[in-house]
Chains A and B, each alone.
Chain A
Amino acid sequence: MLYREAGQFKSSYAEDGRIFPIRQDRIGFALLMLAFGVVVPLLANEYWLKAILTPVLIFSLAAIGLNILTGYAGQLSLGSAAFMAVGAFAAYNFILRVDGMPFLLALALAGLAAALVGVLFGLPSLRIKGFYLAVATLAAQFFIVWVLVKFPWFSNHSSSGVVTAQEVRILGYAFVSPEAKYVLTFAVVAVLALAAKNLVRSATGRAWMAVRDMDVAAQVIGFRLMRTKLLAFAVSSFYCGVAGALYAYTYIGTVEPEGFNLDLSFKILFMIIIGGVGSILGAFLGAAFIVLLPILLDNLVPALFGDALGAGFASNLQLIIFGGLIIFFLIVEPHGLARLWQIAKEKLRLWPFPH
């Protein structure tokens, strides 16, 4: 079957507004969802589910959050990990302190708590831009982690500062196995990714992009800068917050504030740079890439070169490749892997008749 839109005429503006206007894409996407939602949890082994697929989904969610703020609304942030921390510790405390707190409600509240903190740290964006705003979010990164360490209440006075996520139960079913945790993560991420896609293709997304591209013109059209920017901070932090809670509850199980450090914030930033700034798909591609590359290198390097190059080589190589790729994408293709994918599809649409 050729990848073609020939003969597929859009007969209404609603059809024209679809996420996947081409039928082959819709079928492909449905198959992809089926594969990752049903087939993968049935077939994949524990290592893949626990160490690769679940974290990729969680990081994708955080990357979507950062992409909303940075890619769509144009506000650079280096505090994503801190908002994840807010989500993780909020979920922990809601479940700990409220009897019978349903997990999904705790997840939503964790997101809301992060959103609230996000709005607070978004206030400087009304006055400062670009580099200076990045520095302000950097301050948020350190301040939030410091608060979580400083006040032991947040970690329920655990002596080490490390907290262990409680068992996840929804309607009496305990999500203990890697398969169950993966499926739960998948469901939450799928729903939120769809909501994000809807947001960015509607008036809210246009407002964000308008403010990003030309703020004076946006104001003249009638957008309120404050409202638009703060909404971006709120929604972005909500996504990071939920990602943080999932990180604690369906991925690593035990978390401490310092785990959500600047390194993690940068990792998420690299995900959107490599995956594609201003693209929901890009968040997934970037997250997958950054999780998979080290694993790939760990396996590939010894296979290709044996032990001759020493143990440190693979991890150094990894840093070199990351650095190179980030420079490449920043300079050559700011829209990242998502854009490369799009170009490939456009080529395919014409293939095999290139004109």
Chain B
Amino acid sequence: MARQSGDVIVDLRNISLRFGGVKALTDISFDVREHEIRSIIGPNGAGKSSMLNVINGVYHPQEGQIHFRGQLRRRMEPHHAAEQGIARTFQNIALFKGMTVLDNIMTGRALKMRCNFLQHAFYWGAAQREETAHRLKVEEIIEFLEIQSIRKTPVGRLPYGLQKRVELARALAAEPHILLLDEPMAGMNVEEKQDMCRFILDVNDHYGTTIVLIEHDMGVVMDISDRVVVLDYGRKIGDGLPDEVKNDPDVIRAYLGGAH
């Protein structure tokens, strides 16, 4: 794993997030460097998903600061995050159920498309040219993720593993700088996991995409991560290289004593 990590791209400082009385995150600080694969691990309910939701503006922490490329972000909304080049997948697949695979992935291109609705209503001319140009890019991704044969299938009819892959495709369609992946391999068999690992590493390698990954499979995490953050009960209990984290007594205790 000799990838070159770059400058700090996301810097989270003293983040605290509460839902009523529930403290989902307490005083968490860590950073993400350009081009790295940064994993977040921890037992169930540790606050991993909440952390991703804070990074792309779905949740707004009560305390703390987020610096993005060195600039302080105040109350960022999800679409701002998207405009900044942050894309993500969800723990519980959040595909558009009534649409085909192709249409789902095409939505990922939305921010790159310029035509307005009047041009769409007319269709021929600018709108069709734009549609075709973006279709080309989407086809590249479809080929990369090896889902050519299900292009026109409504996503609701696909098995779980393929849905996860389509969701990744949709996120990749935005050509993101930062990709947030919330348990992309959950519920997959070994073979599907291997495929998914390969895709994640390829994306990271080919496009230099920074990846923040939540994953429960320790084998996978230790294998592909550059650095790992460990959360437990909303607090950070470990942070460092995979080997350091693996041997950290606090981390071992959390995993042995926790719900896992």
Residues on A facing B (Cβ under 8 Å): 12-14, 16-17, 195-196, 198-199, 201-207, 209-210, 212-214, 216-224, 231, 235, 278
Mark the stretch among B8-16, B105-113, B236-244 that contacts chain A: B105-113
When distances are taken between beta carbons in the complex, the residues of chain B under 8 Å from A206 are 99, 103, 106-107, 110
Interface string of B113-150 (1 = CB under 8 A from A): 10101001111000110111001100100000000000
- Name which residue of chain A comes closest to B115, CB basis: A203
Q: Is the CB of B90 within 8 A of A217?
A: yes
Q: B83: CB under 8 A from chain A?
A: yes
Decide yes or no: A209 and B99 within 8 Å by CB, A220-B81, A222-B82, A224-B79 being known contacts. Answer: yes
Q: How far is the CA of A220 from the CA of B174 in the complex (A)?
A: 11
Neighbour of B94 across the interface among A12, A209, A216, A222, CB < 8 A? A216
Query: Please, which residues of chain B bring their CB within 8 A of the CB of A207?
Result: 107, 110
Residue of B nearest to A14 (CB): B132
Please report the total number of B residues contacting A with Cβ < 8 Å.
41
A17-B128 CB under 8 A given contacts A199-B121, A206-B107, A223-B79: yes
Contacts A14-B128, A202-B131, A203-B131 given; does A222 touch B98 at CB 8 Å: no
B98 CB contact (under 8 Å) in A202, A209, A223: A209
Q: Decide if A220 touches B135 in the complex (CB within 8 Å).
A: no
Q: What are the residues of chain A within 8 A of B250 when measuring CB–CB?
A: none
B96 contacts partner chain A, Cβ-Cβ < 8 Å:
yes
The secondary-structure label for the interface of chain B is helix
B150 CB to closest chain A CB, in angstroms?
A: 15
| Contact call A214/B94, Cβ cutoff below 8 A | yes
Q: Interface readout for B218-235 with A: 1 if CB under 8 Å, 0 if not?
A: 000000000000000000
Alpha-carbon separation in the docked complex, A196 to B120 (Å): 9
Which residue of the partner chain A has the closest CB to B139?
Answer: A13
Cβ contacts under 8 Å, B82 to chain A: 220-222
Closest-by-CB residue of B relative to A223 is B110
Complex: A207 Cα to B117 Cα, angstroms: 11
Closest-by-CB residue of B relative to A224 is B79
Question: 9 A-B Cβ contacts within 8 A?
Answer: A17-B132, A202-B131, A203-B130, A213-B95, A214-B96, A217-B90, A219-B77, A220-B87, A235-B117
B28 beta carbon closer than 8 Å to chain A: no
A212 and B98 within 8 A (CB): yes
Interface: B33 (CB within 8 A): no
Closest-CB distance, B121 to chain A (whole angstroms): 4
Contact partners of A205 in chain B: CB under 8 A: 120
CB-nearest residue of chain A to B133: A13
Residue of B nearest to A74 (CB): B98
Q: Are B121 and A198 in contact (CB under 8 A)?
A: yes
Give A201 to B58 CA distance when docked, in angstroms: 29
| Bound-complex Cα distance A301 to B88 (A) | 60
B96-A222 in contact (CB<8A): no
- Most chain A Cβ neighbours within 10 Å, of B58, B88, B110: B110
B97 at interface by CB-CB < 8 Å: yes
